[in-house]
Amino acid sequence: MASVEETVRGLKYDDNGLIPAIIQDRASKQVLMMAYMNVDSLLATIKTGKTNFWSRSRKKYWVKGESSGHTQDVHSIRIDCDLDTVLIEVTQHGAACHKGYFHCFYRRLDEAGQWQVTEQRVFDPEKVYKK
């Protein structure tokens, strides 16, 4: 039987060693965000029960909520048919989006072809990230 590390290494990563991870809220089923993981951050996610990612812009590991306190408790980890996308169900503490919304998809395309904000902020990013 494969070890968890072999299972994780058996997934399909892109040329940068990354796999997209869709994060879904367990209670509301809202898709909260998408971010990228590598082997080490996925293993850390499994081991700690908190979501860990790789930041493509900052080129470093990050634990969701490390600055804001808005961590995500992992409930389940699923893989798709092609082994190249992860779906993680979580309990979200606080809010997922660094812009202050509960989730990152707070803008909807309207009939005129414009993005409309449909959600209300649940925290003030300036206060949370200045702490």
Task: List interacting residues with a copy of itself (CB under 8 A).
Answer: 1-5, 7-8, 20, 22, 24, 29-31, 33-34, 46, 76-82, 85, 87, 97-99, 101, 104-109, 112-115
> Nearest approach, Cβ of 108 to a copy of itself (angstroms)?
5
Query: How many CB atoms sit inside 10 A of residue 36's CB?
Result: 18
Nearer to a copy of itself, 37 or 97 (CB): 97
- Smallest gap from Cβ 59 to a copy of itself, in A, equals 16
Residues in CB range of 7: below 8 A, 6 or more apart? none
* DSSP class per residue in 42-98: HHHHHHHSB-EEEETTTTEEEETTTTTS--EEEEEEEE-TTS--EEEEEEESS-S-T
Cβ-based nearer residue to a copy of itself, 4 or 17: 4
Smallest gap from residue 69 Cβ to a copy of itself (A):
18
CB of 83 to a copy of itself, least distance (A): 9
Task: Provide, rounded to whole angstroms, the least separation between the CB of residue 95 and a copy of itself.
Answer: 11
CA–CA distance, 131 with 112 (Å, rounded to integer): 40
Q: Which is nearer to a copy of itself, 16 or 127 (CB)?
A: 16
Vertex 39: Cα angle to 67 and 27 (nearest 5): 55
Nearer to a copy of itself, 66 or 75 (CB): 75
In this structure, is the dihedral angle defined by the CA atoms of residues 40, 49, 25 and 99, taken in order, positive or negative?
negative
